[in-house]
Amino acid sequence: MEFLFENILNLIGFVVGLSIGLMSYIGFKNTGSPTLFRLSIAFFSICVGFFIIWTGYMAEDFLIKSGQIERWIQTLGIGIQTIGYFFIAFSHSIKSFFPKSRYFRSVGIFPLFLVSLIHIENIFRSISFILLVYAAIETIMSYLENKKKGAISVALGLSLLALGEFLGWYSFVFPESILYYLSISIKIVGLIALFIPVSKIPLTKIKFDEDL
C-alpha cells in the first residue's frame, strides 16, 4: 500500500512538472525568451526526476521485490531535480518574478547542517533547499517592489518546494514516519502554484530585461 501511494505521488509530480515544462516551452516558441527556455529545462528536469523515481518504485513492485527502492535510483532522480531547481533559481530575467538582490549569501549559510557525507542525495537536497529559498526570497522582494500578483503564486510555489525538500531530508532521519509522503505532496502543491503564473506566459505580452 505504501509503494502504491509513493507511485501515485511521483507520477502526479511527473505529470505536473511535464505540464509546466510544456507551457514554458510554448512560451519560449512564441516569444523567443531565453528565460522561458531556461524554465523549460528546469521543469523538464524536475519531471524527469519524478519519472526516474516513479520508474524505480514500479520496478521494485513488479520485478525486484526487495522491499525498498534502489538507493541509486532515488539519488539519480533527486539529482536531476536539483538541476531543475538551479535553472529556476537563476531564471531572473522576468522582473516581475525574479529581480536581482544580495540575499543569496545570507540564505546559503543556514542549511549547511543538512549536508551529509554519508548519502549524496542529502547534498542534493541541501543544494535544492538553498536554491529554492534563494529564489523564494528574490520573488518576495520582487512583489514588495512591483506589487505583481503573479509573484505571490511564484513565491508560494518556491517556498513549498523548499519545504518539501527540507521534509524530504528529515524523512531519512525518521524513515518510518509520514514525512516522505508529506514531502512529495507539498512539492506537488508547490509545482501547481508555479503552474498558475507560468500558464499565462504564452498568452500575454511580457517585458524582459534589456540586457538579454
Instruction: Report CA 183 to chain centroid distance, whole Å.
Output: 12
Instruction: Report CA 110 to chain centroid distance, whole Å.
Output: 19
Residue 202 pLDDT more than 60? Answer: no
CB of 17 closer than 8 Å to CB of 64: no
Residue showing cell 513565491: 155
CB of 42 closer than 8 Å to CB of 91: yes
Q: What is the pLDDT of residue 176?
A: 65
Highest mean pLDDT out of 116-130, 149-163, 197-211:
149-163
How many angstroms separate the CA atoms of 15 and 110, rounded? 32
How many angstroms separate the CA atoms of 141 and 78, rounded? 28
Q: What is the pLDDT of residue 119?
A: 65
Burial class of residue 61 in the structure, from the number of CB atoms within 10 Å of its CB (0-12 exposed, 13-18 middle, 19+ buried): middle
| HSE value, Cβ hemisphere, 13 Å, CA-based, for 139 | 24
Residues in the chain: 212
How many angstroms separate the CA atoms of 126 and 129, rounded? 5
| Mean pLDDT computed over 195-203 | 69
Q: What is the pLDDT of residue 70?
A: 76
pLDDT interval class at 114 (50, 70, 90): very low
Residue 112 pLDDT more than 80? Answer: no
| Per-residue pLDDT reduced to its tens digit, 25-67 | 888 888 888 878 888 999 999 999 999 998 988 887 777 776 6
The whole model's pTM is what? Answer: 0.75
Which segment of 50-54, 109-113, 172-176, 190-194 scores lowest on mean pLDDT?
Answer: 109-113
